[in-house]
Amino acid sequence: MAVCGSRTHIGHFVGNMTARRLQCSLSVKSCTVSYNKRGFQNVSKANISLGNKGRPNNFMLYQYFTTNVAKRRTNLHPHKGFGLEGFHNLSHECFFSGTASASNVSSDNSKGTEQVVDVVNSSEAKIPLQLDSGSFYLPHPAKAKTGGEDAHFICTLTPAIGVADGVGGWADLGIDAGLYARELMSHSLSAIKDEPKGSVDLIRVLEKAYVRTKAKGSSTACIVALTEGGLYAVNLGDSGFMLVRNGCAAFKSPSQQHGFNFPYQLDCSNTGDSPSSTMVFKITALPGDVLIVSTDGLFDNLYDEYISGVVFQAMEAGLGPQMTAQRIAELAQLRAMDHTKSSPFSDGAREAGFDYHGGKLDDITVVVSYITE
């Protein structure tokens, strides 16, 4: 991401986009971000059947649902010949890409908008499950020396994954938003480990992490945990997660944006979006499902069908989750550097009235989890 409240380093149309879409003022000393905030109205629980091809009337966000979970897409040809450089072993209890210290904090435990997604019957959903996870991170080439602005963690003791995408526009003010993202994820991991066993509350986790994070900057956030009831997720902004079943996208979290390329974000000044604006998801899962948690560097560049096809081919080839994550991330970066092919980001730009083609070069974090018994 580029500017606080926007993202500018994305193409030649950026200046006009910023002027048309955003009202954002920045102050380095006070670390203030202000803009016109259009929050979502709170809605009651919505039971969403993925077999229903129509859009549910009470679902506040309107995109990224694929309903045909049985059809296999085998006609895709993902890039092959990837090396194994950059892989690491996640054999310890928790892995975190960055470190920060934690502090005590209280939480009011307020709830965000909740969506309950039913994809199997209740008896099937009671199968004990576990996550086998691997991750791969490709920073923006121009940010490689500083480590980029994404952050993520994987925790196995309490099966959970988190990703955050720092807003890169703070760099224009001499601030590395990657520090904010890394601190937010570090505190999220600490808060998860503090949760009562078997009853993790991710809204409380995100609230604690948000209050504890003192670095300047802003960031999106997505945390997904595996519980006895299935997948439990919170998402704020345009990072997100996808559940792949039988080679197809069974569910994808919607993107929260105030306007095109202007995602919801937590920030250091408490004037941005708050954890109470987070969307909450509870999703049934089955053995054989694949969970992908990622920053928008993936979802801006690869279509859902293509990601699902890569996952299907990787599993057919017997690849583990970490190798699958690398393959997806490298394919996303290839598409980001291709100015001749359409991408989800270029589609969104054209819908917003901008003449933009190709992918969008960005930090790319991909965490892949195989769901097993």
CB neighbours of 363 closer than 8 A, spacing ≥ 6? Answer: 137, 138, 139, 140, 143, 148, 149, 150, 165, 295, 297
3 state DSSP class of 153 = strand
Q: Residue 116's pLDDT is what?
A: 56
C-alpha–C-alpha distance, residues 131 and 362, integer Å: 27
For residue range 317-365, list pLDDT tens digits in order. 999 999 999 999 999 999 999 999 999 999 999 999 999 999 999 999 9
pLDDT greater at residue 64 or residue 95: 95
C-alpha–C-alpha distance, residues 327 and 290, integer Å: 15
Name the residue among 298, 288, 313 with its Cα closest to residue 80. Answer: 313
Provide the mean pLDDT of the chain.
75
C-alpha–C-alpha distance, residues 21 and 10, integer Å: 15
For residue range 103-121, list pLDDT tens digits in order. 322 223 334 556 655 554 4
Q: Residue 197's pLDDT is what?
A: 84
- Confidence band, pLDDT 50/70/90 cuts, at residue 230: very high
Q: Residue 112's pLDDT is what?
A: 52
Name the residue among 191, 293, 274 with its Cα closest to residue 232. Answer: 293
- Confidence band, pLDDT 50/70/90 cuts, at residue 258: very high
Q: Residue 113's pLDDT is what?
A: 55
**Which domains are seen in the chain, by residue range?**
130-372 (3.60.40.10)
Give percent above pLDDT 90 in the chain: 60
Q: Residue 35's pLDDT is what?
A: 27
For residue range 170-187, list pLDDT tens digits in order. 888 899 999 999 999 999
For residue range 38-63, list pLDDT tens digits in order. 232 222 222 222 222 333 332 222 22
For residue range 312-327, list pLDDT tens digits in order. 999 999 999 999 999 9
For residue range 260-272, list pLDDT tens digits in order. 998 999 999 877 8
Cβ contact 274:244 at 8 Å: no
